[in-house]
Structure 1
Amino acid sequence: MVTAEAGTKIAGYTYQLQRALHRMFSSVHGNILIGVETGDDVVELRMSDDGTIDAVFEQDKHTIKESGQPYQDGSKNLWHTIHIWLDSAVKAREQYSEIRYYLVTNKSVPVQAMARRLSDATTPEEVEACIAEIREKAAVVGENDKSEIAAVSGFDDASLRFVIERIELVDSSGTVDGVRIKDATIRLFHLTDDLVDKGEEIYRGLLGQLVDCCQSAWISREPAWLRKPPFAERLRSEMNAYRVDRYLERSLASIAWREYHKGDAKDLLFIAQLQHLRLSDEYCTRALSHYWSFYSERIRLLNAGIVLQRAWSARDGALHQRWRAIRDEYLEFEGDIDEGDGMAIAKKIARDTLSGDHRAPLDGRETSEPYFTLGHYHDLANRRADDVFVYWDDAFAPAKDDSDGEAS
């Protein structure tokens, strides 16, 4: 049974991992390493072309309490953290050209709090005022005080000045603008409009990858240092995968094609063409579902900007050329046709053109649903005024002046 205390600790560890992912994608530096439980809760190392390295040490404190905040003036959270930074400052200054220290929490820290004043101290006067206040507070603490402010006060002014000048407080969800850490990180993915609703799933995938990388390092008794490129590549792969899913046509059963069908089917030219061939009502009903389902998908892909109009025009042309080749095979290469054979030939042209085995590609991508090609052909058979119009029997052939001389 998970106790409330255990749940609080787990929430804190999770927050730390969330912060690591947020720092990774919020960094504007090209060559970085993100450490989890290395030199601090989260560490960012920024490598410059000249070989120098800047470091950011981040201490994360998460709480689920309704009131208060983790960096109280007399709290161990605050002074133990600063003690650690002071204790490691000499070694850090030998390793890194510039250093920053971050106090991060999901709660709002009031203006009058010491943590806030330490963060806001930018002028020499403000820094000296903070040092004086630390020494005053340390002078009145008792022997049982566990906040470690006395230990902090034991450092010389130069050491205190160095650390205080570099402290930055980030409160209210741990992001600069107060947005929840998860939402703020998702925004850093810069998802296009068609992928916004997949942000949560993409975030979970990246956070899961971060957890796996850390766990693998810790099991091997190695520090968890993470590079950004594998995560950036994962983000690209996730985005591309969702785009492919959106690009591909949906299954016929999932499309409410009847919502698009208004009026009498007999008013549709392609239905008239099929009925002219004396095809069954059942076949015509299936053709109607293919036509409207294709129409629905084309509108969806066009409106989402996933497939541009030029790709649809190219597919129009490719399907029309295939129909023309099939028609020529029967009419140009099989000799003279008896007057009574016209209907039989028209049926063969329609049969071969509307073969369910042919799945026409779209914009260079393969398609998988038969209706997506059949419905497109029915669409072309409905567009008598266009150059890509297809027909099965010569009774529907456009006048020569309307078809640029292509009518037989």
Structure 2
Amino acid sequence: MNSNASASAAGFGYQYERVLHRIFHSTHTETRFGIETADDVEEQIPLSSGTKVILEQDKLTTGENHSLQDSSKNVWNTLRNWLKGLAAAKSEFASLEFVLVTNRTVPDGTLISTLSKATTPTSVAEAIKSLRQHASGMSGSVAEIAAEATGFSDEDLAFVITRFHVADAMDDETLKEAIYTALQFPDGLEHCHETIYQSLLGQLFADCQASWKQGIPFWTTSKPFFTRKHMLFEAFFEEAWRPLTQEQTNFVQLIEEYGSLGLSFIDQLKKINIPQRPIQTELGHYWAAYSERTRLLKANRILPSDLCEVESELSDRWKANCDAHCIRSGKEPEEFGEDDFKAIYLQTSTPPSFSLSIGRVKSNFRYLFMGTYHHQANGVDTDHPIHWHTANESDE
């Protein structure tokens, strides 16, 4: 294995993750994000006073130790590059910030930790002194870089140090969790978190490649990624918000548990002379629909108001069938007998399709269609009761 190539590839992947982190933590829709522009990652935030720029260096190490040792090339090369571009950046932008990100923990007392914690004039002066002392004792190629970095004025060094911080321990788990939190996944998408995350990373990679293949710098805003996030949410919601099949519900257990419960719709079906076998089928539909409505409500995939709306819709269909039968038979509803009620029931229970929408849940299952109707025929806990027969026991 080419360890240098694999480490380099891992480092580029780390930059994509860091950009995604910045995109979904951004609070300004016009903020621009760049990869391999003025730095590994660059964020340009438009403010009323001018543009604020955050320059970020990302240092991923696959070893056990942190990659920001006091004499490491990573530390000194980063400082030198920031200082070399400082004059141009100060003339172009209203505000600057410098960030060094690593997946390892940076110990207290190290040079980079000292720079990051220097916030007062005294601590900044001490940090500059530490920089110069350490650079003077170095040797080799990194010493040349350190000498060049410390060759800048105290004013320039202080400017960078006071606007610098290190973000350490940004390992895969921590970084991904922070991005997950920023994505604000709604309930019901737990099984899709990783897929959505990888899809957003994939879009970022593809967009970068498209720019770089054309030889132009890569810049983006948060808008396409928020749009894609919502599209992915919608796509997975559509998949996740399909009702269970009847066999997947708890209807068998419910029939066994509540077999002795008197249900009004069963009595009504008997009054219109529906045979026992179809009645057993409809009993299964009723309890399957009950089970699925309960599950969807508990999972917050539908609201009670959604159930009310669909029951209103079904009630309107049933009333239309009643009116149509009035016209066909020449009878008023008060004159309906067993055959009339049966005709209305057959027309209502055998539509061209059993399509039903309960909020965002789409169904073509007969059990949910007819089970909801039977719930309404019971006349309990519904604002839209219907009936398959109106005669009371005392009328017989």
Q: 1:275 to 1:47 in 2, by over 3 A?
A: same
Which of 209, 216, 226 lines up with 2:220 in the alignment?
226
Aligned to 2:108: 111
**Residue matched to 1:88:** 85
- Partner residue in 2 for 1:121: 118
**Number of aligned positions between the proteins:** 390
Q: CA deviation at 1:163?
A: 1.5
Question: Does the CA contact (< 8 Å) of 1:54 and 1:99 recur in 2?
Answer: yes
CA contact (8 A) 1:76 1:147 kept: no
Find the counterpart in structure 1 of residue 14 from structure 2: 15
Matched, 1:166 2:160: no
Q: What is the CA RMSD across the aligned residues, in angstroms? A: 2.9
Q: What displacement does 1:174 show?
A: 6.2
Within a 5 Å distance, the mapping from 1:65-84 to structure 2 comes to 65-66=63-64, 68-84=65-81
Alignment of 1:9-408 (within 5 A): 9-49=8-48, 52-66=50-64, 68-145=65-142, 148-173=145-170, 180-261=174-255, 262-264=257-259, 267-331=262-326, 333-335=328-330, 342-356=337-351, 357-363=353-359, 367-383=363-379, 388-395=384-391
**Structure 1 contact 31–48 (Cα < 8 Å) conserved:** no
Change (3 A) 1:157 1:385: closer
Helix, strand or coil: the match of 1:47? strand
Q: 1:252 to 1:7 in 2, by over 3 A?
A: farther
After superposition, the Cα gap between the structure-2 partners of 1:386 and 1:26, relative to the gap in structure 1 and judged at 3 Å, is: closer
**Structure 1 residues 314, 396: CA separation in 2 closer, same or farther (over 3 Å shift)?**
farther
Contact 1:79 1:147 in 2 (8 A): no
CA deviation vs aligned residue, 1:372-397 (integer Å, no higher than 9, x gap)? 21221122223368663333234359
Alignment CA distance shift 1:259-1:328 (3 Å): same
Asked if structure 1 preserves the Cα contact closer than 8 Å seen for 2:34 and 2:220, the reply is yes
In structure 2, the CA distance between the partners of 1:99 and 1:34, relative to structure 1 (3 Å rule), is same
Native 8 Å contact 1:32 1:47 kept in 2: yes
Are the aligned partners of 2:211 and 2:217 in contact in 1 as well (CA < 8 Å)? yes
CA gap 1:119/1:93 in 2 versus in 1, 3 angstroms: same
Worse-matched range after superposition: 244-253 or 348-357? 244-253
The C-alpha deviation readout for 1:98-152, integer Å capped at 9, x for no partner, is 1111010111111111111001111122112122222222222224546722221
Structure 1 residue 11: Cα displacement: 2.4
Shift of 1:317: 2.6
Deviation at 1:91, TM superposition (A): 1.1
The 1-side partners of 2:394 and 2:58 are apart by 74
CA distance in 2, matches of 1:81, 1:386: 69
Contact 1:319/1:360 (8 A) holds in 2: no
C-alpha distance in 2 between matches for 1:304 and 1:150? 62
Q: Which one is further off, 23-32 or 390-399?
A: 390-399
Partners of 1:15 and 1:151 in 2: CA distance: 28
* Whole-angstrom distance in 2 between the partners of 1:202 and 1:264: 44
Structure 1 gap ranges (5+): 400-408
Contact in 2 for aligned 1:359/1:372 (Cα 8 Å): no
Secondary structure of 2:355's aligned partner: coil
Tell me, what secondary structure is at the counterpart of 1:381?
helix
Q: Deviations over 1:279-320 (max 9, x none)?
A: 455433432332222222211232233322122123223322
Query: Structure 2 vs 1, CA of residues 291 and 114 (structure 1 numbering), >3 Å: closer, same or farther?
Result: same
Distance 1:276 1:104, change over 3 A: same
1:193 counterpart SS class: coil
Partner amino acid, structure 2, of 1:80: N
Of all paired residues, the percent bearing the same amino acid is 31
Deviates more, 1:355-364 or 1:290-299: 355-364
Q: Gaps spanning 5+ residues in structure 2: where? A: none
Give the number of the structure with larger relative contact order, counting CA–CA contacts within 8 Å between residues 6 or more apart: 2
Determine if contact 1:384/1:398 at 8 Å carries over to the other structure. Answer: no
Kindly tell me: are residues 333 and 80 of structure 1, through their superposed partners in 2, closer, same or farther at Cα, counting changes over 3 Å?
same
Conserved in 2, the CA contact under 8 Å of 1:59 and 1:104?
Answer: yes
- Structure 1 residue 227: Cα displacement: 0.9
